[in-house]
Structure 1
């Protein structure tokens, strides 16, 4: 085999070896983490929407005032 092909094969075997080391979360942990991400995303989305509304209202007041 050529040197290039040997390097590709060794990289693939290293990759397979690394994938075997991965520890996947169980269903309950996955459910809890997914729920946490969704809840935090909704809360942050609501906060951003409220700040956006307040800033828009403030800018409209300043523009119409002058």
Structure 2
């Protein structure tokens, strides 16, 4: 039960870093054109969503003021 293998403390770290390096080699990075298009889509969606939330907020604000006053 109390037996331990004669494994150096550095071995798990080296194996982990080797695995990490192998996984990073598998990553397919987006090209510049695709990156620009996706970034523009995210920014546009964020702006549109921000506008929609602002409109809903204004409508609710005036609706509550109308009901109270």
Whether TM-score is above 0.5 comes out as: yes
Q: Where does the alignment leave 5 or more consecutive residues of structure 2 unmatched? A: 1-6
Give the corresponding residue for 2:54: 49
Q: Encode CA deviations 1:2-59: one digit per residue, 9 max, x unaligned.
A: 1x32111100000001001111100000000000000000000000000000000000
* Alignment RMSD: 1.0
Cα distance between partner residues in 1 of 2:26 and 2:13: 20
Q: Where does the alignment leave 5 or more consecutive residues of structure 1 unmatched? A: none
Deviant stretches of 4+, over 6 Å = none
Give the corresponding residue for 1:61: 66
User: Which has a greater percent of helix?
Assistant: 1
When normalised by structure 2's length, the TM-score is 0.87
1:33 to 35, 38, 43: 38
